Structure 1
Amino acid sequence: MTKLSVNINKIATLRNARGGNNPDVIQVALDCERFGAQGITVHPRPDERHIRYDDVMQLARVVKTEFNIEGYPDDRYMEIIEKVRPAQATLVPDGPDVLTSNAGWNTVQHQKQLTEIIRTIQSWGVRTSIFVDPDIKMVAGAKAVGTDRIELYTEPYAAGFAQDKAGAVAGYVIAAQEAQKLGLGLNAGHDLDLDNLKYLKTNIPYLDEVSIGHALVCDALYYGIENTIQMYLRQLQ
């Protein structure tokens, strides 16, 4: 079964737009779990433009499903992972000035850096996943650095889906097969939505987890958060 991890960054963005605590990020996370989500994802950036350090600490005390913390592995991020010990740490290559994740790691070029970071995180009992493009060389490089899982960066798939869905998914299937052959767990995320999720899942049936935030929160404006989560879960069945 492919798990749905709800990224709640956009809930925090909405809260921060007016100050105060409405919507309540912690309560939304608990409600997402109650409505069927099997994980909660956050990406606490240094400028705290959405999820804040204090949010992470509060969530760590109450999240009952898998807690996934994304981020660039600088000193601040590593301190958070060591303190919180989430179920999963997902390493992304973008620095603090990037609006949103927009590429996977070059696992060959950054082999030494990633190997050391992953070894440290795993010593804390935390599963590691690293963001990669659908390139079998990068997948092989991910295996070489010792990560537990990879997360396929799916923005190119989403961008090409409407014009040629078979062509859009083809490279991802090859990368996923390589990951499976190498014994790597497989996640996916970025721009997945109710239109393109089922097709990805159908073509890569052994996905462990998808992380979805922006589209899911947008859909919730129309359908409500409980109904939206159920709609996404149905796409993964």
Structure 2
Amino acid sequence: MTKLSVNVNKIATLRNARGGNVPDLIKVAMDIEAFGAEGITIHPRPDERHIRYQDARDLKKVVTTEFNIEGNPVQKFMDLVLEVKPTQVTLVPDSVDAITSNAGWDTIKHKDFLKEVISTFKQNGIRTSIFVDANTKMVEGAAETGTDRIELYTESYAHAYLEGDAERCRAGILPFIEAAKMAHSLGLGINAGHDLSLDNIKYFKENIPHLLEVSIGHALICESLYLGLENVVNMYLNKLK
């Protein structure tokens, strides 16, 4: 079964909108685990507009499943990850002013930089993953950095699925199938995330070989507004079986 890691950034966004501690991010993360999720993901950004760096420290004390911290490996981010020592760090090349992640790494152009960063994390016992587009060349480049896993950036798949046409869905997922096969052949673990939802997750899971983990936040929290958080977590788990 593919693991579900829930990104709780949107919980932090809601909390920060009014100040104070409602909703309580730490309690929500603990509840999500109790509902059956196998991981918690956060993506702190330098301006701390949703997840604060202190949240990472506080979550480390209570997360009992896998703890995944995503972000651009600027020095401040690296220092935080090395201090907290999560289960996994996912390297994402987003700019400081990015609303959300919108591209994977050019693993060929940035190979030397990534090798250095990944080596540092792995020396500290932290599993590493690189956010990449569904491009076999970028997957090959990722393997040369020494990373443990890749995370496939799934926005293009989600857009193709939204069209609702079987032919477009198939065309949209083919690059991901090829990238996953390439990654597995090179000894890389395969994660995925971005714009995955209750609508499109089952088709993705059924077609992507060797899928270890999906990280889902925005859609899951939005769906929970209508259906309830515990219910939605379990709906994802059922689709990932």
Classify the TM-score, shorter chain. Answer: over 0.9
Q: Which residue of 1 aligns with 2:199?
A: 195
Q: Which residue of 1 aligns with 2:172?
A: 168
Q: What letter corresponds to residue 222 of structure 1 in structure 2?
A: Y
Tell me the distance in 1 between the aligned counterparts of 2:17 and 2:223: 19
Contact 2:180 2:209 in 1 (8 A): no
How far apart are residue 204 of structure 1 and its match? 1.0
CA deviation map 1:19-75 (0-9, x unaligned):
111000000000000000000000011111100011111001110000000000000
Q: What letter corresponds to residue 72 of structure 1 in structure 2?
A: N
Tell me the SS of whatever aligns to 1:145. Answer: coil
Identity of aligned residues (%): 61
User: Which one of 215, 227, 231 corresponds to residue 223 of structure 1?
Assistant: 227
Tell me the distance in 1 between the aligned counterparts of 2:6 and 2:162: 24
TM-score w.r.t. the length of structure 2 is 0.97
Tell me the distance in 1 between the aligned counterparts of 2:65 and 2:214: 14
Alignment of 1:43-192 (within 5 A): 43-163=43-163, 164-192=168-196
Contact 2:5 2:216 in 1 (8 A): yes
Contact 2:177 2:209 in 1 (8 A): no
Tell me the distance in 1 between the aligned counterparts of 2:219 and 2:153: 15
Tell me the distance in 1 between the aligned counterparts of 2:85 and 2:22: 27
Tell me the distance in 1 between the aligned counterparts of 2:199 and 2:228: 17
The alignment status of 1:12 with 2:12, answered yes or no, reads yes
Q: Which residue of 2 aligns with 1:30?
A: 30
Tell me the distance in 1 between the aligned counterparts of 2:196 and 2:34: 22
Tell me the distance in 1 between the aligned counterparts of 2:95 and 2:86: 21
The alignment status of 1:208 with 2:219, answered yes or no, reads no
Tell me the SS of whatever aligns to 1:209. Answer: strand
Tell me the distance in 1 between the aligned counterparts of 2:178 and 2:107: 17
Tell me the distance in 2 between the aligned counterparts of 1:193 and 1:206: 19
Tell me the SS of whatever aligns to 2:21. Answer: coil
Tell me the distance in 1 between the aligned counterparts of 2:200 and 2:229: 19
Tell me the distance in 1 between the aligned counterparts of 2:216 and 2:142: 22
Tell me the SS of whatever aligns to 1:208. Answer: strand
Q: Which runs of 5+ in 2 are unaligned?
A: none
Q: Which residue of 2 aligns with 1:234?
A: 238
Tell me the SS of whatever aligns to 2:29. Answer: helix
How far apart are residue 179 of structure 1 and its match? 0.4
Tell me the distance in 2 between the aligned counterparts of 1:61 and 1:95: 29
Contact 2:30 2:63 in 1 (8 A): yes
Tell me the SS of whatever aligns to 2:128. Answer: strand
Contact 2:107 2:141 in 1 (8 A): yes
TM-score w.r.t. the length of structure 1 is 0.99
C-alpha RMSD of the superposition: 0.6
